[in-house]
Each structure stands twice: as structure tokens, then as C-alpha cells.
Amino acid sequence: MTNPLAELNAYIRRAREAAAEPLQPGEVHDPEELASVRRFKRAWGSQLASAKFDEALARGPANAGPLNSHALVLRSLGMMREISPEYLRRFLLYVETLQWLESAEIAPPKRKARKR
């Protein structure tokens, strides 16, 4: 049986450590994770989002009209990148999650044939 006071002290210590560096929305506090690893993950995520945006921009239409949906999306993402790169990172993560869920819906698990 564990000591309730020891559990409370451990909880307070973890809360203090978590408060030392605020978490971003969607991040989960892992007491075993180093703060430098958490910062590296954030920096890597921002760099990856920027690279994906640059790739999408390069594949964009060259002579698109003012109401071309692809050009409008790229322009909106560019403005989002200028205003808030962190929001762009989270937005792209959300879109990737939706794409993954959609692909999971399209390919339902295959059933094994019954032997008669």
C-alpha cells in the first residue's frame, strides 16, 4: 500500500516541474521527458511545418486566377505563417490527423473468409 502523503508530494513535484516550462496545447506532460527534448520536438515540428508549406507552395499553380481555390488556400496559409507560425504548425498537424482518419475510413479491415 502506498503512502498518500508520498503520492501528494510526488504530484506537487511533477506539477512544479510542469509549470517550469508551460506545455503547448495538445502536449502531454511526461515526467521522464527532459525539457531540452520537449524544446527540440517543438523546434522540429515548426521546421517540418515550414518545409511542408514550402513544398506545397512550389507545387502551386503558376498562372492561377484570383478565385482559384488552390491559390487561395496557399495565400491563406502564407498569411497564417507570417502572423503565427505556431498556429500554422498546429493547423497542419490537425489537417494531417484528419487525412489519416479519412484514409483509415476508406480502407476497412479485411475479413477472413469463413471455411465451410
**N-to-C CA span, the chain:** 54
What does the pLDDT average to over 72-90?
88
| Higher-confidence position of 53 and 74 | 74
Distinct helix (H) and strand (E) counts, the chain: 4, 0
In the predicted structure, residue 23 carries a pLDDT above the cut 60: no
In the predicted structure, residue 27 carries a pLDDT above the cut 80: no
C-alpha cell at 30: 511526461
What does the pLDDT average to over 26-52?
75
In the predicted structure, residue 29 carries a pLDDT above the cut 80: no
